[in-house]
Amino acid sequence: MRNSNISLGGRIKDLLFPRHCPVCDDILPFGEQLVCGGCAAKIQYIKPPTCRKCGKQLYDEGKIYCSDCMRREHVFDYGFALYDYQSMKKSVYRFKYGHRGEYAQFYARDIYRNLRQEICAMDADAFIPVPLHRTRQDKRGYNQAELLARELSRLFGVPTRTDIVKRTKKTLPQKQLNAISRQNNLKKAFNIGSDVVKLNKTIIIDDIYTTGSTLDAVASELKRHGVGKIYFITLCIGEGI
C-alpha cells in the first residue's frame, strides 16, 4: 500500500525512526509504503458470509449468526472485524506489547479500505476506544485501541472520545480466562466519566474480539447512560461456525 501524501515532517520522522512492516516487522523502504509488498498477500481478511452480530466469518451460507451468538445475547448491536486472528495475531501482539504503535496507521487505512461503507452506514457520533487501566497503560506507554481510534478519526472525520468510558478496575488479562470468568472479571470494571446524553450512536474500538465480553461491558455502561446504538470495530476475530 503506497502512501502518496506523506508530509515533510513525516518523511523526516520515517528517516530517523524507520517504520516496520506490521506483518513481518522488517524495516520498510523509506517513505513509500506501510506494509511489505509480499506480506500484504499473506493477510487473511474476514469475508462474507459473516455473523450479523459479531462479524465472525461463517462457513455455512444458510446461517445468519455464529453458534456463539445463537447461544448468548450481546449488549452491543453489531460490529465487524477486519482480520482473521490467526493470520495477524503476531502483528497485534507486537502492536499491544512490543512498542509498535506505528502499526495503527496501517490498520486504520486497511479498515478504511475494507470497511468504509459499513462504518459510514453506522453514522456514529464518536469512536470510543476500550480504555486500559492507568497502571497498564503506563507500563505499555499507550492504549493501542486509542491509537487505532485516533487514526480512524482522521480518515472518517468522526471524533475519538477518551473522556467518556473509564476503566476503574484493574482486571486480569482476558486471555487467561474462560468465557464465564471473562464476564465476572469485567463486572464494575468500567464507568462513565463524562456526559453522554448527546451521543446517540457510538462505535467501540478494540484490537481483538474473542467472546465479546469486553465490548458488552463497555456497551452496557453506555446504554445505561442513554446511548441508543452501540456498534464495534475490532482488528481481529476468531472463526465462527
pLDDT tens string 42-91 = 999 999 999 999 999 998 888 999 999 999 999 999 999 999 999 999 99
- 120-135 pLDDT per residue, tens: 999 999 999 999 989 9
The region of weakest confidence among 82-86, 143-147, 149-153, 182-186 is 182-186
Q: Residue 42: CA atoms inside 13 Å, Cβ hemisphere, count?
A: 15
Query: Per DSSP, what are the bridge partners of residue 78?
Result: 231
Q: Which amino acid is at 154?
A: R
Q: How confident is the model at residue 239 (pLDDT cuts 50, 70, 90)?
A: confident
Cα–Cα distance, 36 to 23 (Å, whole number): 8
Q: Is the peptide bond before 49 cis (omega within 30 degrees of 0)?
A: yes
Domain count, the chain: 2
Same domain for 4 and 104, yes or no, is no
- 162-208 pLDDT per residue, tens: 999 998 876 655 555 555 555 555 667 788 877 776 899 999 999 99
Same domain for 185 and 80, yes or no, is yes
Same domain for 128 and 201, yes or no, is yes
- Three cell numbers at 157? 472525520
Query: Per DSSP, what are the bridge partners of residue 83?
Result: 45, 236
Question: What are the Cα distances from residue 119, in Å, to 10, 122, 123?
Answer: 27, 5, 7
Which run of H or E residues covers position 32?
Answer: none
Same domain for 19 and 49, yes or no, is no
Residue 5: the pLDDT is: 47
Range of 161's domain?
43-237
Residue 194: the pLDDT is: 76
Same domain for 117 and 104, yes or no, is yes
Whether residue 23 contacts residue 42, with contact meaning beta carbons closer than 8 Å, is answered with yes
12 pLDDT more than 60: no
Q: What is the pTM of this model?
A: 0.87
Neighbours of 94 (CB within 10 A): 16
Residue 17: the pLDDT is: 72
Same domain for 169 and 107, yes or no, is yes
Same domain for 106 and 125, yes or no, is yes
Same domain for 109 and 175, yes or no, is yes
Cell match 459473516: residue? 50
Length of the chain: 241
Same domain for 204 and 225, yes or no, is yes
Same domain for 82 and 109, yes or no, is yes
Q: How confident is the model at residue 4 (pLDDT cuts 50, 70, 90)?
A: very low
Same domain for 111 and 205, yes or no, is yes
241 pLDDT more than 60: no
Same domain for 47 and 79, yes or no, is yes
Q: What percent of the chain has pLDDT over 70?
A: 84
The dihedral through the CA atoms of 160, 17, 87, 135 has a sign that is negative
